[in-house]
Each structure stands twice: as structure tokens, then as C-alpha cells.
Structure 1
């Protein structure tokens, strides 16, 4: 139960997956042999922490992880392939290989299978991450064994820091915009031209109003751009900030 398996090989398992509406069996060797792989495992698709933080940050940092020698990034959960596929589509997790451990065989072999009957989940995976090199576990980050669903060490930033403490993470950019705003279009183009990923929140969606915009930025015009949690401002201010970036 919650055993650190560093130095050991990953369990020998065949996963039943879906590719283009067909069943495809994938073996442990297919996934790990001759490769450097980051795998993170979580309790369930569509659950709060998994959807808001754990998976999205790995997807966000995937290009940096790959630039630092990681071949593939795998998200594993004791869910069926249909659920995993729908979840990946919902979160636009294009950088992550979604691996369904429907029968919990891999998770059991990792000694990470836990009982969550009190939540109606049945048997699920404990939350952890690991770096696997040619099928051998190099490093594991296992969440502490305490009540609830701790999320303290299996995150993407911790893994990246282990692989390369000097790695530079991409900026986290959020733009609040409105439909038909030419300045918003200009700001988006400026970021796209730099190859910088960003999220867009449109006024009028998800309960976001001009009052929300004013509360966040102290301003009532769009766009308002935030970088790493700090307000940059309008399209003009964004272009000035971009000019300072190497």
C-alpha cells in the first residue's frame, strides 16, 4: 500500500484502449521501453482537483518537459477509455497520453490501489507521479497518506524541478476580452505571433461581467491581460511588455 518503487520496473500490464473508435491493446513495453516517460496518476476523470489543476498544469508544461528529455507524458486513472477520452477532449489535453487502467491492474501492481467506497468510487488510484526511464522507475512523488485527497508533491512543477531545476516555465497568460473587440484581436495576434499560449475569458460567459472586469483590473476596457497573476493591461501595454521579453 502506497509503496515507493524507485529502482524497480513498472508492472507488466496490457491496457485496453480506444483509438479512432477501435479497441487497441497497449502493453507496458509499448509505453515505456527505450523511453523516458513522466506518468502521473490520479483518483478520477472530471473530479475537481484533477480537472482544475493536476492535468491542466502537466498539459501546460508538457513542451518544457519534452525539451528536457521527456519523450511522453501519461495521465493514468482507474477509469474506462471512453471516460478518459471525453475528459481529454473537454480539457483540450492535446499534450497528454490518456491511459485508462480500467481494471486497476497497473495501479494494483504499483501498490497504489486504494478503497474509496465511502465516496462511491470503489477502487481507485492514489495520487502520485513518477519518472520512468526504459521501464525502470527513477523517481516517485507520492502524496502523503492522510485523509482526503492531498495534492502536495505530484504536480507538474515539482516533477519539472526534479528533472531540471533551471528549466524556464512558460508564462501563464489570461486575457479578458469581449466579442467584436478589435483591440482584443490585436492582443491575441501579438501573443500568437510570439508563439505564447494564453487563455481567453469573454465577458458575458461563465458569469463574467464588466463588474467582474473592473473588480479584477480596476478598469472597464478590453482587453485586460494578466501575466503570471499580474495585470499587464491593454493591447498597447501588452505590446510594450512583449517588447521587453527576450
Structure 2
């Protein structure tokens, strides 16, 4: 199998059948790439182990840092249909990345990355790679080595970010424990959103599997919200307000 870099060339022209507000919407290559700086990572399939546990989540985590370093958008592309890609995004809680279905494999074939995974029952799928695209022209590609299985060595988010800016720093990850109907939880989330601080929300209470004892175990308190920033316990909404200097 020969996998050739397309650095210096324009992205293939293709039409992507996407779903927006439960309606079909066709998107062209130009609409995604023209006059923009875009990072693309392509993977063999939605819901597959490496894609779900590492590849997609890390790009989602680092999306704010990519934006700070001149990237307009991050696109995850796979030879799957729009329904599968939308369901996958919802299941993983992806908010910072656009998932694009290349259902017929037209774009992937144009990239020279369409490979036969019939041995896994997948049919034709994308080889794993990432690329930086500026105004429709591929300026850098990271292609996984031609090895058996599903290698994941160079197309990861950290490798791409280091290429764009070797000095870029990891964002401080934020987690907020909340409960349905809690006004103080809503206030804490609003404070973070005002500062464009991306956070993970962990719902607690009946039916969630997370009790007040669990919250006490990690924070020393049984009330919500409980906010953690960069591994440091900040506290409730009032504590967060003080921390942010409001």
C-alpha cells in the first residue's frame, strides 16, 4: 500500500452530505476550506476504539488552543454516513469540532487515503492521517506508517499542535459537578462561559450514578456545584466568582 503526501496540493473537490437541524445539507470542499485555516484529522471509523478513546477526544480538548494559534476550525472526517457521525458526536459530547461524513469516500479517495479494510468487515475506509490546510492548500500532512493494524503515532492532536506552535501550552482543563435544577450550578456555568472557558460538566444526583458521597470524596464537600480547574479544587459558585475576580 502506497500512501503519498499531498503537501503543496489543493484538497480534492467533493460534496459532503451532512445533516443540519434534521435536514440534509450539501457542503462543498470550498465551503470548508476556502479562505480559512483548517486542521483535518481522518480516521477509519466512528465508534472504533482508538478513534473514540484518544483521537477525537484529544482534538476536542485542544481545540481552544488551536484557535489561539490561528486555526479557524478542526474537522474530523471519516468514511461514515451523516447519521453515524452525528450520533457519535452526541455520544462523546463533542462541542469544538465539526464531524464531516465522507459517506462515499470521494474526498478520501481524492486524498489517496482510501484503503481496503474488508478483513475487518469495514469495506473501503480512510487511512488515519491529519493535515493542516490553508486556503484550500495542504501545507502539512502527518500520515500514519504503513503497518499492520491501526497505527496511531503521528496524526494525534499534540503532534499537530507542536508543528503549528512548539511553544503552545496545554489548556487548564475544567470540570464542574452539577445537579439538575441547581441555580448555583447555572451561575457557575454562566461565569465560565462569560470567560470563554471550556469545561466538562458531570451531572450528579438520582439516576446519574454519582452521589453526594462521591462529590465529598473528591472535593471534601457534598454540595454542588464543585469546580475544578487544572486539577485544583476551586469550590462552589461563590468561590469561582472570587477566583475569577468578579
Structure 1 pair 88/135, CA: closer, same or farther in 2 (3 Å)? same
2:37 aligned partner? 36
Question: CA offset at residue 107 of structure 1?
Answer: 1.7
The superposition leaves residues 50-103 of structure 1 with CA deviations (integer Å, 9 ceiling, x where unpaired) of 334433443444344334333332221000122223333444545433321112
The superposition leaves residues 191-226 of structure 1 with CA deviations (integer Å, 9 ceiling, x where unpaired) of 234332222212235422334334434554433322
1:47 aligned partner? 48
Root mean square deviation, CA, Å: 3.2
1:117 aligned partner? 118
Distance 2:115 2:7 in 1: 20
1:76 aligned partner? 77
Counterparts in 2 of 1:188-203, with a 5 A limit? Answer: 188-203=189-204
Please say if 1:126 is aligned against 2:127.
Answer: yes
Question: CA offset at residue 237 of structure 1?
Answer: 4.2
Distance 2:183 2:27 in 1: 48
Alignment gaps of 5+ in structure 2:
none
1:4 aligned partner? 5
Alignment gaps of 5+ in structure 1:
none
Structure 1 pair 143/219, CA: closer, same or farther in 2 (3 Å)? farther
Q: Which moved more, 1:203-212 or 1:125-134?
A: 203-212
Distance 1:10 1:80 in 2: 20
Distance 1:20 1:241 in 2: 38
Question: CA offset at residue 41 of structure 1?
Answer: 0.7
Distance 1:159 1:190 in 2: 31
The superposition leaves residues 10-67 of structure 1 with CA deviations (integer Å, 9 ceiling, x where unpaired) of 2343334445555544443343334322111112223344334433443444344334
Please say if 1:13 is aligned against 2:17.
Answer: no
Q: Which moved more, 1:46-55 or 1:120-129?
A: 46-55
Distance 2:137 2:119 in 1: 34
Q: TM-score with structure 2 length normalisation?
A: 0.78
Distance 1:2 1:38 in 2: 19
Distance 1:240 1:147 in 2: 53
Q: TM-score with structure 1 length normalisation?
A: 0.78
Q: Which moved more, 1:126-135 or 1:40-49?
A: 40-49
Structure 1 pair 196/33, CA: closer, same or farther in 2 (3 Å)? closer
Structure 1 pair 100/168, CA: closer, same or farther in 2 (3 Å)? same
Distance 2:52 2:112 in 1: 24
- Partner SS, residue 8 of structure 1: coil
Distance 2:28 2:179 in 1: 47
Q: What is the count of residue pairs matched by the alignment?
A: 244
Distance 1:141 1:216 in 2: 39
Distance 2:95 2:201 in 1: 18
Q: Which moved more, 1:152-161 or 1:182-191?
A: 182-191
Counterparts in 2 of 1:169-208, with a 5 A limit? Answer: 169-179=170-180, 181=182, 183-204=184-205, 205-208=207-210
